[in-house]
Amino acid sequence: MNNAAELFHPSHFAKVRLPAYEAEPLPHWAYTSQAWYDREVERIFHKAWNYIAHKSQIPNQGDYMTRDIAGVPVILVRGKDDEVRAFYNSCRHRGSKILWDEGNCNRMRCPYHSWSYELDGSLGTIPLIDDDHLVKSELSLHAVRLEEMNGFLFITFDAGAEPLSSYLGSLPKEWAAYGPDDFVCTRRVVHQVKANWKLYFENFNDSLHVPFVHRSTLARQKVSGRQRASHVETDGRYIAHFTHHEGSRGLLEEDQGRGFPLFEGLEGRYLTGTYYPCILPATLFAFTIDSAWVYELNPKGPGLTEVALTSFFSKDQVARPDFEEVAQRYYRRGDIIVPEDNFVVERQQEGLSLPVGMSGKFTSMETLCHAFDNWVLDQMVEPQPA
C-alpha cells in the first residue's frame, strides 16, 4: 500500500466512519506509513494552532526556548518590551539554526557567520561585510503567528488560520476555574517514544487500559464515573473527558493527603475530579484539584514521538517553603505513570507493523478514540463522492 492515491482512497475508511459501536479504528498504515505522516504534517500540523509553552517558562526579558514543531524549527523569546514573540529558527543569511535548547540572551546570534538579531527579530549587526545590497530592514527574522490564552502560548504556520479564541471555543471558560494565568511550569521531562503520535492521543482518551496498564498505580484510586465529549460535542477544537474520583489525580494513592492545598476558588464538579481537555491535534491537558500537567506530543516521524510532560502549580503553591519537597510527590507520579503508557503504545506500534490489512474494533469505553480517528480522517481524506 505505497501508492498515495490508493493509501488515501475513501473506500478504506467507510468502517471508521460508522457510529462508534460498530466502527473500526484507522487502518494500520495510518500509524506506520511515511506518506500518511507527511500528509499529516502538511494538512494537520501546518494548519492547526499548536501549543508550544506556558508564559511562565520564559519569565524574564531575553529568555528564549526553541522547539521543533512537527519538524519546523521555532524560537520563542521574550523581548525587552516584555512581549513574547515566535520566529522561524532560521538565519536570513543562509538558513542556519540560530538558537537551540533554551537560555537567556541580549541578542540572538547565528553560530555560522555571526549575524545577530534583536529580540524583536530585526537584524542588528553583520560582522566584516559592508555590502550595499544588504538592506537590514529587509532581513528581519520571519515571525511565526503566536497567540496567548490564559498564559498558554500557541503558534500556527497558517496565516489564514482562525483566531485562537475561536479555535478553543469555550475551553478557556472551563479551565479558568483552575486559574492558569497564575500557573508556574516547574518541570518538563522529555521522553522519546517509539510510537505514532496518534497512539498517544488515543491512549490518553482510552479509560479501558487503566485497570490493566496502571494496575498497581493509577487504578488503586477509585473512580466513580466519567463524562466524555468529542470535538463534535464541544464548540472548540478539543476532545475532553472528566473523571470523578476522590483526592488528587496528581498523586499516587500512597501520597493522598500529602499534597498541596486545593487550588483556590474551585467550585462544583471541578472539586470532584479531574478535567482532561485534549486540544487537537496533539496537546493533552490535565487539571486536577491541586495541580495540572500537560503532555506535549511532538511527532518526529510515523514511528517516533517526543513526549514532554510539563508540571504546573499555582504561584501560591510555588511560593510555599515546602514547595520542592511536596512537589516531588507529584513528579514521582509522572515518572511512574508515563513509562507505563510508553510501554504499551510502543508495543501497539510494533503490533501495527503489518504487511496486510487487519481490521480492529472499538468498545464502548473508546468512543473518544473513535471521535479522534474521525477528526484525523476529516483532515486527511477527501469525502467519498455520494
CA pair distance 332, 336, nearest whole angstrom: 6
Smallest distance from Fe ion to CB 231, Å: 21
Give 115 or 375: the residue with its C-beta nearer to ligand FES. Answer: 115
Shortest separation between residue 111's beta carbon and ligand FES, angstroms: 7
Number of residues this chain uses to bind Fe ion (CB under 5 A) = 1
Q: Is 113 in the site for ligand FES (CB under 6 A)?
A: yes
Site for Fe ion in 301-360 (CB under 5 A): 341
Tell how strand 143-149 and strand 152-156 pair up: antiparallel
Which residue matches cell numbers 471541578? 270
Distance CA 318, CA 355 (A): 52
Region 52-111 residues binding ligand FES, contact defined as CB under 6 A: 91, 93-96, 110
Instruction: Show the site string, 345-364: x = touches ligand FES by CB under 6 A, - = not.
Output: --------------------
Q: What span, in angstroms and rounded, lies between the C-alpha atoms of 186 and 349?
A: 31
Q: Does 171 bind ligand FES (CB under 6 A)?
A: no
Restricting to residues 107-166, name those near Fe ion by CB under 5 A: none
Show the cell assigned to 205.
Answer: 482518551
Apex 79 CA angle, 147 and 190, nearest 5: 65
Cα–Cα dist 201/244, whole Å: 21
Pairwise CA distance, residues 143 & 164, whole Å: 17
Site size with ligand FES, rule: CB under 6 A: 10
CB of 333 to Fe ion, least distance (A): 12
Helix (H, G, I), strand (E, B) or coil at 338: helix
341 binds, among Fe ion, ligand FES, none (CB under 5 to 8 A by kind): Fe ion
- Backbone dihedral angles phi then psi of residue 255, each to the nearest 5 degrees: -105, 0
Please compute Rg for the chain using Cα positions: 22
Contact by Cβ (8 Å): 183, 56: yes
Which CB atom, from 182 or from 202, has the smaller least distance to Fe ion?
A: 202
Q: Give the DSSP letter of residue 39.
A: H
- Residue 136 binds what, of ligand FES, Fe ion, none (CB under 5 to 8 Å, by partner type)? none
Does residue number 142 form part of the binding site for ligand FES (CB under 6 A)?
Answer: no
Report the residue number, 113 or 269, with the smaller CB distance to ligand FES: 113
Window 68 to 97, contacts with Fe ion (CB under 5 A): none
Judged by CB, which is closer to Fe ion: 85, or 241? 241
Residue 258 exposure: Cα atoms within 13 Å on the Cβ side = 14
Question: Cβ closer to ligand FES: 74 or 110?
Answer: 110
**At 296, phi and psi to the nearest 5?**
-95, 120
Minimum distance from CB of 288 to ligand FES (Å)? 45
Question: 106 contacts which partner out of ligand FES, Fe ion, none, CB within 5 to 8 A by kind?
Answer: none
The answer to whether 202 contacts Fe ion (rule: CB under 5 A) is no
Question: Which residue number, 125 or 328, has a Cβ lying nearer to ligand FES?
Answer: 125
All cell numbers assigned to 70: 512537527
Q: Please, which residue, 28 or 214, has the CB nearer to Fe ion?
A: 214
Backbone angles phi, psi at 42, to 5 degrees: -70, -45
Binding site for Fe ion (CB under 5 A): 341
